[in-house]
């Protein structure tokens, strides 16, 4: 269920056909507007106020990665939307402040769901991208896990239900339907879960659930 209104979305993408498809998809949602449509870094240099930016990386005048810090600093949630899914690029984008990372084979509904998820405080990642993030997390497991392990013990029963649903692949909307709560409430629970586990993304939270063996409970 869509609960977001008056959402200002930006798009930086040099492919005019893809821009047209994204524009039509965004405009399907009442109150959502494509407030920025740029085909290069230069064209996005003086953007209007935005809530979410869909950002391509391979732009004609340089890397779109350079746009992440200024948009992030302005309070805009950046979702990288690209064909480049190598580990170095993914991790660099996240380090620079990207809130999500989708590959361009994503369906229209997946893109809309990613926007909703990021506005609710989540971090939407294409599965292959999430694998890179998890690999990095495993590498740093010795230093990161103690805080998360302690945090798992502090989760309320409802927070555990939300976290397990997300770990099993449910979207925010599906989790809301499953638990008979609103998508907004799911987002609130997710924010508290992230805080308690000392993590910053869904991928990190799911990693802790897997490591703790929660998914084997049934």
Count structural domains, the chain: 2
Question: Do 25 and 104 have their domain in common?
Answer: yes
Question: Do 17 and 46 have their domain in common?
Answer: yes
* CATH code of residue 196: 1.10.10.10
Most confident of the ranges 14-18, 93-97, 119-123, 171-175: 14-18
pLDDT of residue 208: 81
Provide the angle, in degrees to the nearest 10, between the axes of the packed helices 108-119 and 172-179. 70
pTM for the predicted model, two decimal places:
0.62
**What is the pLDDT confidence band of residue 10, given thresholds at 50, 70 and 90?**
very high
Q: How far apart are CA 47 and CA 45, in angstroms?
A: 6
Question: Do 43 and 126 have their domain in common?
Answer: yes
Question: Do 19 and 126 have their domain in common?
Answer: yes
Of the candidate ranges 20-24, 78-82, 115-119, 213-217, the one whose mean pLDDT is the lowest = 213-217
The residue among 99, 133, 167 that closes a domain is 133
Question: Do 13 and 61 have their domain in common?
Answer: yes
pLDDT digits 0-9 by tens, 138-156: 555 555 566 667 788 899 9
Question: Do 120 and 209 have their domain in common?
Answer: no
Question: Do 22 and 123 have their domain in common?
Answer: yes
Question: Do 119 and 33 have their domain in common?
Answer: yes
The residue among 133, 166, 195 that closes a domain is 133
Question: Do 127 and 148 have their domain in common?
Answer: no
The residue among 78, 105, 133 that closes a domain is 133
Question: Do 46 and 113 have their domain in common?
Answer: yes
pLDDT of residue 105: 81
Positive or negative, the CA dihedral 2, 47, 202, 155 is negative
Question: Do 92 and 188 have their domain in common?
Answer: no
Question: Do 101 and 145 have their domain in common?
Answer: no
Mean confidence (pLDDT) of the chain: 84
- Picking from 48, 49, 80, 75, the residue whose alpha carbon sits closest to that of residue 64 is 80
Query: Which structural domain range is residue 170 located in?
Result: 140-217
């Amino acid at each position: 269920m869509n609960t977001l209104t008056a959402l200002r979305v930006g798009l930086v993408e040099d492919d005019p056909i893809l821009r047209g498809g994204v524009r039509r998809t965004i405009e399907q949602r009442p109150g959502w507007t494509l407030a920025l449509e740029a085909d290069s870094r230069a064209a996005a240099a003086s953007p209007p106020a935005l809530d979410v930016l869909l950002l391509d990386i391979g732009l004609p005048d340089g890397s779109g990665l350079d746009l992440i810090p200024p948009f992030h600093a302005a309070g805009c949630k950046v979702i990288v939307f690209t064909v480049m899914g190598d580990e170095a690029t993914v991790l660099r984008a996240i380090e620079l402040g990207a809130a999500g990372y989708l590959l361009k084979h994503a369906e229209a509904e997946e893109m809309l769901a990613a926007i909703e998820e990021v506005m609710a405080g989540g971090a939407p990642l294409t599965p292959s991208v999430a694998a890179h993030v998890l690999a990095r997390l495993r590498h740093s497991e010795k230093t990161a896990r103690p805080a998360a392990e302690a945090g798992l013990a502090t989760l309320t029963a409802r927070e555990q239900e939300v976290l397990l649903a997300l770990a099993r692949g449910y979207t925010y909307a599906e989790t809301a339907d499953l638990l008979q709560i609103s998508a907004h409430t799911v987002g609130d629970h997710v924010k508290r879960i992230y805080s308690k586990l000392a993590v910053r993304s869904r991928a990190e939270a799911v990693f802790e659930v897997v490591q703790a063996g929660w998914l084997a409970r049934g």
